[in-house]
């Protein structure tokens, strides 16, 4: 992403956030920009917000009234919003689980660039990324960068509980243990000769 594209995306992110706040639609920044707001690596392609499915119509109405273009993609778990060419995803189902008000309540108000907005907690950010791993999308490198940067903010016990049923996420957590990224270890890591 070029510096100009990055600037345009941040402006779109701020515009969506201020519009949702103004319309009193509960939401939280998630994904790469949420990690970045908490000290993680620089995002690479789009901005993501989570919101409850029941609030999507109100959110889309407010964003369209603000002059943003909304797109209903074939995927049944998100809506897409464009500010010019800058893409912002509105996610209401994440890794086959509906976004809940409890999840939004765990978000913390943080300054992102120049706008204060709810930002997902580190545990939810990393859980969403880990639970999205699969046979066709299993590059652990970027996820390890997020986990390493956010390690002190992650509730590792809750993360393990969230990821316990998904083998790819468990493999990621095992690697975090082996590399000393996690702050809790469910099993010894020493290997005997």
Name the band, by pLDDT with cuts 50, 70 and 90, for residue 173. Answer: very high
What is the pTM (predicted TM-score) of this model?
A: 0.91
pLDDT at 22 over 90: yes
pLDDT average, residue stretch 106-134: 97
Q: Where are the domains of the chain?
A: 1-120, 121-188
Name the CATH code of domain 1-120 (choices 3.40.190.10, 3.40.50.720, 3.30.460.40, 3.20.20.70).
3.30.460.40
Give residue-wise pLDDT tens across range 73-88.
999 999 999 999 999 9
Give residue-wise pLDDT tens across range 38-84.
999 988 778 999 999 999 999 999 999 999 999 999 999 999 999 99
In DSSP notation, the chain reads --HHHHHHHHHHHHHHHHHHHHTT---EEEHHHHHHHTT-PPP-S-EEEE--GGGHHHHHHHHHHTT-EEE--S-SSEEEEEETTEEEEEESEETTEE--HHHHHT-EEEEETTEEEEE--HHHHHHHHHHT-BTTB--HHHHHHHHHHHGGG--HHHHHHHHTT-HHHHHHHHHHHHTT-SS--SS------
Average pLDDT value for the chain = 93
């Amino acid at each position: 992403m070029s510096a100009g594209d990055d600037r345009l995306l941040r402006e779109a992110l701020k515009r969506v956030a201020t519009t949702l706040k103004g319309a009193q639609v509960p939401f939280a920044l998630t994904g790469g920009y949420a990690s970045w707001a908490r000290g993680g690596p620089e995002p690479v392609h789009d901005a993501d917000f989570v919101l409850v499915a029941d609030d999507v119509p109100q959110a889309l109405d407010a964003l369209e009234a603000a002059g943003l273009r909304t797109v209903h993609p074939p995927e049944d778990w998100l809506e897409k919003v464009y500010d010019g060419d800058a893409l912002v995803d509105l996610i209401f189902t994440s890794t086959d689980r509906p976004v809940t008000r409890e999840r939004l309540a765990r978000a913390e108000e943080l300054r992102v660039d120049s706008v204060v907005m709810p930002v997902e907690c580190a545990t939810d950010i990393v859980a969403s990324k880990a639970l999205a791993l699969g046979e066709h999308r299993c590059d652990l490198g970027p996820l390890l960068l997020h986990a390493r940067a956010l390690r002190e903010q992650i509730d590792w016990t809750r993360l393990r509980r969230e990821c316990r049923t998904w083998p790819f996420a468990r493999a990621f957590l095992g690697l975090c243990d082996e590399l000393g990224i996690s702050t809790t270890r469910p099993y010894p890591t020493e290997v005997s000769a």
